[in-house]
């Protein structure tokens, strides 16, 4: 089979399209024939070595497909099941071996590309709004990158929970998408001081929570947008990592909270994984949650797909197909 392999850390050029053997499932594992794989910033961080992975490795940790074979002791799925998963390396390939407990069955109403598109980013949006800072009616949230893959989903889920959403985007085209997703206010941050605009929109009060996947470019101003005892939820670093911070800042700005969550800790067992995934699939099937595909690349062009995501010009999900 073909796979995208990384033998050294670096830019997109280190992604190599290679022939490798089809893996065999062991105890508690299933072999999935992949139909679509998701491109995510975590892949880029791993490629660069910001999140170290032992090299060589096959890239990618989100996909959908068909169970081709199961190893001993597998009870969660069987051959022929349509499944999707995240948080297991090896998804940029024709086949991948996945711990069977991480596989979620995909309802018939949802196609393979939409299923792959929602696993990492959709469950991230789910835990952010339901668990990290559980939004409730009357809360106001800032969602950075509101027209990105997570952002568009997070805006919709936040609105389902009754929150007011202020989205930030870079262009008028992205602003339109964020508004269509349900954002109450959208700030084009390239056209002025977005921190001052948040203050204006909230009458100077600030917001209860900022969901920030951008990192260094937005971190300080995000803190300034929070009410006393507000929560800064930093879940990505698209513009670069935030440097070490003096914790006294959180005192002087109003006894603020800071957390750096990760999906793996919010899908740590099968019960929690299924609860989040099945919520998403249910909302998608009923038309309550819209999943936008930005672009689909063939597996051989994985480097181009990562370049597009890294440019922060995407509006929705970027996928690969074998």
User: Which residue among 225, 260, 295 closes a domain?
Assistant: 260
Q: How far apart are CA 81 and CA 137, in angstroms?
A: 39
Q: Is residue 57 part of a domain?
A: yes
Q: How far apart are CA 209 and CA 163, in angstroms?
A: 11
Based on the fold, state whether residues 86 and 159 are members of the same structural domain.
no
Q: Rounded to the nearest 10 degrees, how much is the dihedral formed by the CA atoms of 40, 42, 46, 48?
A: 80
Q: Where residue 178 sits, what CATH number does that domain have?
A: 3.40.50.720
What are 206's two structure tokens?
A: 């600030």
HSE, side-chain direction, 13 A CA sphere, residue 34:
31
Peptide bond into 56 cis (omega under 30): yes
Q: Is residue 127 part of a domain?
A: no
Q: How far apart are CA 196 and CA 13, in angstroms?
A: 40
From first to last of its 322 residues, the chain has per-residue pLDDT tens of 999 999 999 999 999 999 999 999 999 999 999 999 999 999 999 999 989 999 999 999 999 999 999 999 999 999 999 999 999 999 999 999 999 999 999 999 999 999 999 999 999 999 999 999 999 999 999 999 999 999 999 999 999 999 999 999 999 999 999 999 999 999 999 999 999 999 999 999 999 999 999 999 999 999 999 999 999 999 988 888 899 999 999 999 999 999 999 999 999 999 999 999 999 999 999 999 999 999 999 999 999 999 999 987 788 899 999 9
Q: What domain range includes position 188? A: 137-260
Q: What pLDDT does residue 244 have?
A: 92
CA 288 to chain centre: 19
What are 211's two structure tokens?
A: 């969901």
């Amino acid at each position: 089979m073909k796979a995208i392999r990384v033998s050294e850390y670096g830019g997109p050029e280190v992604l190599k399209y290679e022939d490798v053997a089809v893996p065999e499932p062991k105890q508690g594992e299933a072999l999935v024939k992949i139909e679509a794989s998701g491109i995510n910033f975590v892949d880029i961080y791993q490629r660069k070595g910001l999140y170290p992975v032992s090299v060589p490795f096959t890239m990618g940790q989100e996909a959908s497909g068909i169970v081709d074979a199961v190893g001993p002791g597998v009870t969660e799925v069987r051959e022929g099941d349509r499944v999707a998963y995240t948080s297991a390396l090896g998804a940029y390939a024709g086949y991948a071996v996945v711990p069977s407990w991480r596989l979620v069955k995909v309802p018939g109403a949802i196609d393979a590309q939409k299923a792959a598109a929602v696993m990492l980013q959709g469950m991230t949006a789910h835990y952010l709004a339901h668990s990290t800072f559980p939004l409730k009616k009357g809360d106001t949230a800032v969602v950075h990158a509101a027209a990105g893959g997570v952002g568009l989903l997070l805006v919709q889920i936040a609105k389902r929970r009754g929150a007011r959403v202020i989205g930030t985007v870079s262009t008028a085209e992205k602003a339109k998408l964020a508004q269509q997703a349900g954002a109450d206010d959208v700030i084009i941050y390239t056209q002025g001081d977005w921190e001052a605009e948040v203050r204006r929109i909230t009458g100077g009060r600030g917001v209860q929570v900022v969901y920030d996947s951008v990192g260094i470019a937005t971190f300080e101003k995000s803190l300034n947008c929070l009410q006393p005892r507000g929560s800064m939820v930093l879940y990505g670093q698209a513009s670069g990592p935030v440097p070490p911070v003096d914790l006294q800042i959180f005192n002087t700005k109003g006894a603020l909270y800071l957390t750096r969550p990760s999906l793996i800790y919010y899908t740590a067992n099968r019960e929690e994984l299924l609860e989040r995934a099945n919520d998403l699939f249910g909302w998608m099937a009923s038309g309550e949650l819209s999943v936008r595909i930005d672009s689909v690349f063939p597996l051989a062009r994985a480097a181009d797909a990562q370049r597009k995501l890294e440019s922060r010009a995407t509006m929705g999900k970027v996928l690969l197909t074998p």
